[in-house]
Structure 1
Amino acid sequence: MGHRDFNEIHHRVEVQIPPTKPFSHTLKSSLKETFFPDDPFKQFKNQSLSRKFLLGFQYFVPILEWAPRYTFEFFKADFIAGITIASLAVPQGISYAGLASLPPVIGLYSSFVPPLIYAMLGSSRDLAVGTVAVPSLLITSMVGKEINPYENTKLYVQLVLTATFFAGVFQASLGLLRLGFIVDFLSHATIVGFMGGAATVVCLQQLKGILGLVHFTHAADLVSVMKSIFGQIHMWRWESGVVGCCFLFFLLITRYFSKRKPVFFWINALAPLTSVILGSVLVYFTHAEKHGIEIIGHLKKGLNPPSVSELASTFGSTHLMMAIKTGIITGVIALAEGIAVGRSFSVFKSYHIDGNKEMIAIGMMNIAGSCTSCYLTTGPFSRTAVNFNAGCKTAVSNIVMATAVMITLLFLTPLFFYTPLVVLSAIIMAAMISVVDYEGAIHLWAVDKFDFVVCISAFIGVVFSSVETGLVIAVVISLLRILLFVARPKTSVMGGLPNSKTYRSIEQYPKANSVPGVLILHINAPVYFANAGYLRERISRWIDEEEDKLKSSAKNDLEYVILDMSSVGSIDTSGISMLEEVKKNVERRCIKLVLANPGGEVMKKLDKSKFIDTIGHEWIYLTVGEAVNACTFMLQTCTPKTKTLEPDHAADDKV
């Protein structure tokens, strides 16, 4: 008796080999899944040429798709939301421009043009566009290393605008080439640690404004900041410290109250503008600027001046490569934050965010912004949360906000003359404190210790070295983890669950029973050149351990090794060579190699390499259960070790 008898008795279903497709078809399919997994062109099928043109235009300019359905009810909601976020955008824009060591008015410019561009091109209904703290810190730490922003302000501003231009080009290129998956290399753990570290450094740097210091380090690491703070104790101004602490306390209290009572979200949203107004009134009536309280001073009135000539003047500069590097790094961070924020809020309203559209929209608004005296913008969480809670319906809220900022630029900038810098520092500190996600770090520790290591590495790298170093450390550790997973895939011994035909890992299910004379191994990864050698050695060790265990217990010899390949999505020539070596190794020990549930791609490769002919069609099974049944059937009907003799191949159908 042999496999023919087993097949006839159990009506075995053979494992099939998928039909071979031309290489061009396979390549096209792979490229499509890589770059077009969402199939954006499905709407173009069976459409007239004019209709295809209209749909294509709507795809790249989404406002043309939803604008015809826009209603007055939507506008009322968007108007309220837009005015609300404008009250936050004005003080934040001025504050973050100062964080980037730029003239305050550039922060207002950056809240005018980019939101208008995003409203036309963006796919998020809730994202509120504006400047953000971490890219602002990155800009001043990278560009400020080469150009002093206070001694050579004009060149510094030109380089920042150039960095913004290249950030936009990079972002839009990723979207057009559909390379959005690159941003996915910034894992959740990386972002938590990186943002927490950057927020910590930002808060520490704001002690300059809180303490009324004039000279301060441009470095972004903890040691440099602490040296700069405590090296100037004699320069601390108690007046500035008192005002700063009072306004910081006010901002934190309003945030706490709004979190406890979400219906009063507007209190927290209006708190920054209220602080600016109260601070300006305080300085005006007390003449505090004469007692150590620095003020903004004159803000240029008028809309964004064009800056194309400034961009052109830096293209031949020796600092161009530094600007490009700054643009790429800050562009990635801005993309990661903007897309993550947009997707987070889209879940609440059950609509889809197109990541590639978002990249194009964010990139184009930064390109347009760099040509109109704006620096890097994206979708900050704080502003988007206010927009969402204010009840926005569409991206028109960004247009309303931009209109309010435009009115501010045209008529209201003189009112900010007496705004104290210490209030702006308090606004930034209050915003950044909420960015330090210590609860997220605790959750990482509880769920995945390796993710926690990535998070802490990013945090420590940012805090003790620089923002760029922390980001690089976190990304490198994340990539090493991926490589480690590929190079050292998980393998496990499987057993049968009691009163079931299911086979699972004995490590996960200790009550699972091993099959006498049969070793079942599960390979939990694709088999490539990077892990083929390790898998060969690991399988050999599993066999050695199983044989030693059987000898010590005086049980039956090991007769069969079943490889469960259900998780092996693909295999290369090195992996096939590994299987051939494993087969030779086990046959020298008078053990038979059996395969269970190989996938379609794996079967095609095994067939083309003639490995199926080598191992025998009858030794490949659809499930682990069938393979175990066949092996136990052979053990019961054959004398020990006779399974190494070749069975009756002619009686079996080909796979």
Structure 2
Amino acid sequence: MGNTDFQCSHRVAVPPPRSFLLSIKSSLKETFFPDDPFRQFKNQPVARKLILGLQYFMPILEWAPRYTFEYFKADVVAGITIASLAVPQGISYANLASLPPIIGLYSSFVPPLIYAMLGSSRDLAIGTVAVPSLLISSMLGEVVNPHQNTKLYVQLVVTATFFAGVFQASLGFLRLGFIVDFLSHATIVGFMGGAATVVCLQQLKGILGLVHFTRGTDLVSVMKSILGQTHKIGHLKKGLNPPSLSELAFGSQYLSTAIKTGLITGLIALAEGIAVGRSFAMFKNYHIDGNKEMIAFGMMNIAGSCTSCYLTSGPFSRTAVNFNAGCRTAVSNIVMATAVMITLLFLTPLFHYTPLVVLSSIIISAMLGLIDYEAAIHLWKVDKFDFVICIGSYFGVVFGSVEIGLVIAIVISLLRVLLFVARPRTCVLGNIPNSINYRSVDQYPVAQSVPGILILQIEAPIYFANSNYLRERILRWINEEEDKLKSSLEIGLQYVVLRYEWTSTFAVCSIDTSGISMLEEVKKTLDRKGLKLVLANPGSEVMKKLDRSKFIEAIGDEWIYLTVAEAVGACNFMLHSCKTNSKTVDSEEADNNV
């Protein structure tokens, strides 16, 4: 009598074989096209496919036919509102990037128009951003002094913006948006907070701004010294954006620095813009396509680099104002760009006498909102490792540099990913009384172990990075269970059930050759101990590879079950059968002796 006599509803099936090309196609589709963007093109005539293709790359063509006058009124109000913020903020952030103030206004004109046609967010307000502005100033300022060689510095900034746009658009076209996911929420909180602190400290010079002070102590002398040193913005040239295609410094000796600056600032701007867009989309219950956003960001920055603009994204402050002003579509960006255009054509002389302290005040007021101490406290309460990432990023920026802070945050984040893979969680399962459910005995103290059976759950893919650890951990569980049973004089261990948790909670459904070798070693060790290895709930990918490696043949397909309950039932059936056979043999021997 064997466990084949045990009746179970279904057996675990090995998936039917597929050709290599079909497998590659399926893997690439799941990796790069999880949202299946080509689904809408199926069974459509050529003309319809052309229209759908244009709507995919230019979302404005999709919603423009449904645009109403009510939407237009709301967008005009929102657009004028954010324009009132965009003009002073653009000048301020250009000053932060060590650029001529007029470039900040240029950057609030062309990029919003491009995004309105290509972007998928209804609420995102496009403009210059504080942290990339600081990055540009710190990275390019190391090789070129922006005050002594302004022309070369502006050329490098425009070139960096071009490469940032190319990088962003490439991520979108190649469907590599998951790269941005490596900048976790904790990383962004710490990085933004550190950058905001540095910016606030830098702007104290603009706030205080006293270089030569009087030695007189009378009130008149002191007030004259203070009021007589007011620093002004100065002359702002009238007119729209001049072309800057010829300013791209592809032959400069500092090209590598411009490329590095473009890649880093492009990634930061992309992460911030997509995060802000998704946050506000959630409030209105609609979805934005991350890859479309990358293409839109990339194209608007490429266009901006050719029209005297520097890097733009979707800043939180401007988007929040746009959202609260009641915007309905991306037309609010067009209205804002129109208002900026009017400013460039007619109103720039009005800013000549604006004190620089006003710009510093605007920057500091915007930066204080980026120091999100409540989010840091929340990270501490929920996940200490995320808090370490946040603090590491913050102090790296404040006491080192923006680049050091970013590197520290990314390294710690990658270390955490490696730890999740290399040191996966395993646990012992027990039966919840009066049910067929098996859960962790640590999480559920009422869960009861099954006599003679050790049930282990693996909550990670089994790869070369964790196979040795899992082998050692499984054998340790077995040794500890055997020692515990010996000391308690209970029934000895007979079966070890390995459960592959591949539900949506853990998403474990894969194994490589190192993992298969690990299972073979575990099986050999159990065979020497007189124990039986049983598998429960293996995924299709796991079954396919176990079948090809002949491991199923070695273990026996009768020892692979759909659920832990069926596996435990089969093991209990065998334990009961062994006891019955043992009693029968003992009875026959007793009769023979008589």
TM-score by length of 2: 0.94
CA contact (8 A) 1:196 1:459 kept: yes
Matches of 1:79 and 1:129 in 2, distance apart?
A: 15
Q: Does 1:637 align with 2:542?
A: no
Q: Does 1:470 align with 2:405?
A: yes
Match of 2:203 in 1: 206
CA contact (8 A) 1:559 1:641 kept: no
Match of 1:506 in 2: 441
CA-CA distance at 1:77 after TM superposition: 0.7
Matches of 2:277 and 2:46 in 1, distance apart?
A: 33
CA contact (8 A) 1:462 1:468 kept: yes
Q: Does 1:16 align with 2:13?
A: yes
Q: Does 1:485 align with 2:420?
A: yes
Match of 2:562 in 1: 622
CA contact (8 A) 2:210 2:229 kept: no
CA contact (8 A) 1:296 1:416 kept: yes
SS at match of 2:312: coil
Match of 1:4 in 2: 4
- For structure 2, the 5+ residue unaligned runs are 503-507, 583-594
Give CA-to-partner distance per residue, 1:51-86, whole Å, 9 cap, x none: 211211121111112112212111111111000000
1:194-273 pair list within 5 angstroms: 194-212=191-209
Give CA-to-partner distance per residue, 1:415-456, whole Å, 9 cap, x none: 111100011101110110011110001111111111111111
SS at match of 1:206: helix
CA contact (8 A) 2:213 2:225 kept: no
CA contact (8 A) 2:379 2:387 kept: yes
Q: Does 1:446 align with 2:381?
A: yes
Match of 2:587 in 1: none
Match of 2:243 in 1: 306
1:58-69 pair list within 5 angstroms: 58-69=55-66
Amino acid of the structure 2 residue aligned with 1:517: G
SS at match of 1:638: helix
Match of 1:179 in 2: 176
Match of 1:40 among 34, 37, 40: 37
Amino acid of the structure 2 residue aligned with 1:625: A
CA-CA distance at 1:640 after TM superposition: 10
> Structure 2 vs 1, CA of residues 213 and 359 (structure 1 numbering), >3 Å: closer, same or farther?
farther
1:47-62 pair list within 5 angstroms: 47-62=44-59
Match of 2:588 in 1: none
SS at match of 1:529: coil
Matches of 2:202 and 2:575 in 1, distance apart?
A: 74
SS at match of 2:40: helix
CA-CA distance at 1:288 after TM superposition: 9.0
CA-CA distance at 1:291 after TM superposition: 1.4
Q: Does 1:357 align with 2:292?
A: yes
SS at match of 2:127: coil
CA contact (8 A) 2:210 2:226 kept: no
> Structure 2 vs 1, CA of residues 555 and 32 (structure 1 numbering), >3 Å: closer, same or farther?
same
Match of 1:599 in 2: 539
CA-CA distance at 1:617 after TM superposition: 1.3
Q: Does 1:378 align with 2:313?
A: yes
CA-CA distance at 1:3 after TM superposition: 1.4
Match of 1:344 among 269, 279, 283: 279
> Structure 2 vs 1, CA of residues 635 and 190 (structure 1 numbering), >3 Å: closer, same or farther?
same
Amino acid of the structure 2 residue aligned with 1:440: A
Match of 2:153 among 149, 152, 156: 156
Amino acid of the structure 1 residue aligned with 2:3: H
Matches of 1:233 and 1:149 in 2, distance apart?
A: 27
CA-CA distance at 1:213 after TM superposition: 5.1
Matches of 1:396 and 1:345 in 2, distance apart?
A: 16
Match of 1:228 in 2: none
CA-CA distance at 1:348 after TM superposition: 1.4
Match of 1:321 in 2: 256
> Structure 2 vs 1, CA of residues 213 and 507 (structure 1 numbering), >3 Å: closer, same or farther?
farther
Matches of 1:451 and 1:60 in 2, distance apart?
A: 36
SS at match of 1:203: helix
4+ runs deviating over 3 angstroms: 232-235, 286-290, 639-642
Match of 1:587 in 2: 527
Match of 2:551 in 1: 611
> Structure 2 vs 1, CA of residues 233 and 190 (structure 1 numbering), >3 Å: closer, same or farther?
farther
> Structure 2 vs 1, CA of residues 640 and 578 (structure 1 numbering), >3 Å: closer, same or farther?
farther
Matches of 2:325 and 2:575 in 1, distance apart?
A: 72
- For structure 1, the 5+ residue unaligned runs are 215-231, 243-285, 643-655
Match of 1:552 in 2: 487
Match of 1:106 in 2: 103
CA-CA distance at 1:126 after TM superposition: 0.7
> Structure 2 vs 1, CA of residues 121 and 4 (structure 1 numbering), >3 Å: closer, same or farther?
closer
> Structure 2 vs 1, CA of residues 641 and 92 (structure 1 numbering), >3 Å: closer, same or farther?
farther
Match of 1:118 in 2: 115
Q: Does 1:131 align with 2:71?
A: no
CA-CA distance at 1:2 after TM superposition: 2.3
Matches of 1:55 and 1:21 in 2, distance apart?
A: 32
CA contact (8 A) 1:597 1:622 kept: yes
Matches of 1:291 and 1:594 in 2, distance apart?
A: 86
Match of 1:533 among 450, 468, 485: 468
Give CA-to-partner distance per residue, 1:93-125, whole Å, 9 cap, x none: 000000000000100000011111111111111
Amino acid of the structure 1 residue aligned with 2:28: L
Report the more deviating stretch, 84-93 or 558-567: 558-567
CA contact (8 A) 1:289 1:295 kept: no
Give CA-to-partner distance per residue, 1:240-267, whole Å, 9 cap, x none: xx9xxxxxxxxxxxxxxxxxxxxxxxxx
Matches of 1:6 and 1:79 in 2, distance apart?
A: 73
CA contact (8 A) 1:164 1:366 kept: yes
Matches of 2:11 and 2:292 in 1, distance apart?
A: 46
Matches of 1:382 and 1:144 in 2, distance apart?
A: 26
CA contact (8 A) 1:193 1:459 kept: yes
CA contact (8 A) 1:339 1:355 kept: yes
Matches of 1:621 and 1:290 in 2, distance apart?
A: 84
Match of 1:261 in 2: none
CA-CA distance at 1:581 after TM superposition: 0.5
Paired residue total: 572
CA-CA distance at 1:6 after TM superposition: 1.9
> Structure 2 vs 1, CA of residues 287 and 641 (structure 1 numbering), >3 Å: closer, same or farther?
farther
Give CA-to-partner distance per residue, 1:535-591, whole Å, 9 cap, x none: 111111111111111111111111111101133411111111111110000110111
Identity within the alignment, %: 76
Match of 2:390 among 438, 455, 459: 455
> Structure 2 vs 1, CA of residues 291 and 233 (structure 1 numbering), >3 Å: closer, same or farther?
closer
Amino acid of the structure 2 residue aligned with 1:346: A
Matches of 1:336 and 1:581 in 2, distance apart?
A: 44
1:274-289 pair list within 5 angstroms: none
Match of 1:387 in 2: 322
CA contact (8 A) 1:158 1:310 kept: yes
Amino acid of the structure 1 residue aligned with 2:230: I
CA-CA distance at 1:289 after TM superposition: 8.8
CA-CA distance at 1:12 after TM superposition: 4.0
Matches of 1:110 and 1:180 in 2, distance apart?
A: 25
> Structure 2 vs 1, CA of residues 640 and 113 (structure 1 numbering), >3 Å: closer, same or farther?
farther
CA-CA distance at 1:383 after TM superposition: 0.5
Matches of 1:234 and 1:641 in 2, distance apart?
A: 107
Matches of 2:92 and 2:38 in 1, distance apart?
A: 43
SS at match of 1:317: coil
Q: Does 1:573 align with 2:513?
A: yes
CA contact (8 A) 1:201 1:463 kept: yes
Matches of 1:66 and 1:611 in 2, distance apart?
A: 55
Matches of 1:343 and 1:456 in 2, distance apart?
A: 25
